[in-house]
Every structure is written in C-alpha cells, then in structure tokens.
C-alpha cells in the first residue's frame, strides 16, 4: 500500500498541471492558494517599485531612482523563484492582472515609508505560508520559504536603513542629495557589525 496520490486524484486537484508532470506530493490547498497570492504580491511589488523609480527619476533623484529600479528587479526575481517552486511541484500558475498603484507621495520620506511597509507585508505573507506549510507537513515548501524569509528580512532591514537616513536628512535638500549620491555610487547598504560571512 502506498500513500502516493494516484494520477487520477491529482488530475482532479490540478488538471492542467497534471497534464504535464507527475506530482509526488501535491500542495495543500491553503498553501497553494497563498503561494499564488504571494507570487502576485511579488509581481505587484515589482510593478510598484518600477513606478517609484519613475517617480524619483522625474524629480532627478538619480540614486533613489536606481535604488527603486534595483528593488523592482529584485521583486521580479522573487516572483520567478515562487513560480519555479510551483512549477517544480507540478502546480498550474494563475496570474492575475496587476493593478497600477494610485497612491500619491509628497516627499522622499513618504516613498521610503511605502517601500518599508510593503516589505513588511510581503514578509508577513511568507511567514503565514510557512505556518501553513508546517501544519501540512510540507517541508519542501518550508525549506523553500527559509530563503524567502531570509531575503525578506534583509530587504526589510535595508528599506528601514534607507528610510532612517532620509528621516535624518529631514527636509534638508543638501542632506537628501548626499544620500542620493550614496545610492548612486552603490554605497547605500546598511551598516554591519560583523565582517563578511564568518
Ligand atoms: Fe520580494
């Protein structure tokens, strides 16, 4: 006797994916639906950060524009990794239409606050799925999410650092220009106490 699901059972659970690959361990329905939502969140974040890159570039904040552009690329890469996980698990991927963010921002600080809040929301989503995966005994997804949560923790800390620098500058354009130059030179990383990876 085996606990491996039959191909017929999997075909009912996920018809289009089952046409392509055999699936040794189907995802629990809540894990699957939230991974789909998480994928959408990452894509939306990439879209939103691209808009922020435009917002900064229009105002000649060169370094901030580059920071937002890099963040947009990184969110897109995160979405790709979630997609790969779903494909590897034999799941069909449903993509929803991205919605343009209609928020308006009146300061650099407001934009950095938006980025920080967004990173916190994405991390919360990953943690929620982690709990679901643990409950479902889906350790493959847990292991996958380990790296996702680690990356999110880094992204949150970096967003917090940039926002903190901007808050220090306050409304002083000269101070903001210094931060902008730091980001332009790729020197915007948060300070670290430990040296390297050791
Ligand atoms: Fe992300």
Domain boundaries, the chain: 29-93+107-184
CA of 72 to the centre of ligand 1 (A): 9
The pLDDT value recorded for residue 17 is 52
Q: SS3 of 58, please?
A: helix
Residues with CB under 5 A from ligand 1 (ion): 42, 75, 78
Q: Determine the distance separating the centroid of ligand 1 and the alpha carbon of 12, expressed in angstroms.
A: 31
For helices 173-184 and 139-169, the axis angle rounded to 10 degrees is 140
Q: Could you tell me the distance, in angstroms and rounded to a whole number, from the CA of residue 170 to the centre of ligand 1? A: 28
Q: What is the CATH number of domain 29-93+107-184?
A: 1.20.1260.10
Quote the ligand 1 centre to 2 CA distance (angstroms): 38
How many angstroms is it from 107 CA to the middle of ligand 1?
24
Ligand 1 geometric centre to CA of 39 (Å): 9
CB of 56 closer than 8 Å to CB of 64:
yes
**Whole-angstrom distance, CA of residue 194 vs CA of residue 120:** 24
CA-based nearest residue to 108, from 178, 36, 34: 178
pLDDT along the chain (198 residues), means of 10: 42 53 87 97 97 97 97 96 94 91 92 96 97 96 96 94 96 95 90 75
Residue 3: per-residue pLDDT: 42
- Of the candidates 48, 67, 69, 70, the one whose C-alpha atom is nearest the C-alpha of residue 176 is 67
Q: What are the structure tokens assigned to 93, written together?
A: 């991927």
């Amino acid at each position: 006797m085996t606990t491996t699901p039959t191909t017929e059972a999997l075909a009912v659970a996920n018809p289009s994916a089952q046409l392509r690959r055999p699936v040794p361990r189907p995802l629990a329905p809540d894990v699957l639906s939230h991974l789909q939502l998480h994928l959408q969140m990452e894509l939306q974040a990439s879209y939103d950060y691209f808009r922020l890159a435009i917002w900064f570039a229009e105002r000649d904040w060169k370094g901030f524009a580059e920071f937002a552009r890099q963040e947009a690329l990184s969110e897109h890469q995160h979405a790709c990794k979630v997609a790969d996980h779903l494909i590897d698990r034999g799941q069909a991927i449903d993509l929803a239409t991205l919605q343009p963010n209609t928020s308006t921002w009146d300061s650099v600080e407001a934009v950095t606050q938006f980025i920080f809040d967004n990173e916190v929301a994405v991390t919360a989503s990953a943690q929620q799925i982690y709990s679901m995966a643990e409950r479902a005994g889906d350790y493959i997804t847990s292991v996958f999410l380990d790296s996702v949560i680690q990356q999110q923790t880094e992204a949150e800390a970096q967003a917090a650092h940039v926002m903190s620098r901007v808050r220090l500058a306050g409304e002083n354009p000269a101070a903001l220009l210094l931060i902008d130059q730091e980001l332009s030179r790729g020197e915007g990383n948060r300070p670290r106490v430990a040296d390297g990876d050791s």
